[in-house]
């Protein structure tokens, strides 16, 4: 499959699904947590596909940096969901699929970063400019 846009990336599509699930989970939180923990879950989840999209429009090194930020946001989502479960705000059965989706996204992002780094090394070895690689 040819990638013409970040929208074509499976990892971006999964991240968008994670956002939808996190918004649903945040609605399950008690009223007094919707603007605390709920807002944190939503912000962190939105950061994942946003960083994938933004990074895809930049040179390779910057794209890898944005992937790293997306990975950090995934860890934040997972932590917030785990907190919500431990505090009894979400059930394990509600948070579990989101945690699985997040872990899958993390593996995909690690793979994408690895691929981009390898591409950069190949371009350097061939003496090709790096800045034109978007």
Angle at 22 between CA 21 and CA 25, to 5 degrees: 90
What's the pLDDT tens digit per position in 33-56?
988 999 999 999 999 999 999 999
Instruction: Give domain status of residue 13, yes or no.
Output: yes
Query: Do the domain assignments include residue 87?
Result: yes
Residue-wise pLDDT tens digits, 60-87: 999 999 999 999 999 999 999 999 999 9
Smallest CA-to-CA distance from 38 within 24, 54, 58 is with 24
Mean pLDDT of the chain: 91
pLDDT band at 1 (very low <50, low <70, confident <90, very high): low
Of the two residues 130 and 26, the one the predictor is more confident about is: 26
How many distinct structural domains can be found in the chain? 1
Query: Which distant-in-sequence residues (6+ apart) come within 8 Å of 87 by Cβ?
Result: none
Q: What whole-number distance in Å separates Cα of residue 117 and Cα of residue 105?
A: 18
Per the domain annotation, does 46 fall within a domain?
A: yes
Give residue 123's pLDDT band: very low, low, confident or very high (50, 70, 90).
low
pLDDT at position 4, please?
A: 83
The CATH number assigned to the domain holding 59 equals 1.20.1440.60
Reported confidence tier of residue 120, pLDDT bands at 50, 70, 90: confident
- Is the residue at 106 inside a domain? yes
């Amino acid at each position: 499959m040819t990638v013409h846009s970040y929208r074509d990336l499976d990892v971006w599509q999964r991240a968008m699904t994670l956002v939808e699930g996190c918004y649903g989970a945040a609605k399950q939180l008690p009223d007094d947590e919707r603007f605390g923990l709920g807002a944190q879950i939503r912000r962190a989840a939105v950061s994942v596909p946003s960083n994938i999209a933004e990074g895809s429009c930049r040179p390779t090194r910057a794209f890898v940096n944005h992937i790293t930020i997306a990975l950090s946001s995934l860890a934040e989502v997972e932590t917030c969901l785990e907190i919500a479960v431990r505090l009894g705000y979400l059930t394990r059965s509600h948070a579990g699929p989101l945690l699985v989706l997040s872990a899958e996204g993390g593996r995909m992002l690690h793979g994408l970063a690895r691929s981009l780094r390898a591409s950069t090394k190949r371009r350097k070895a061939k003496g090709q400019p790096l800045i034109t690689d978007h």
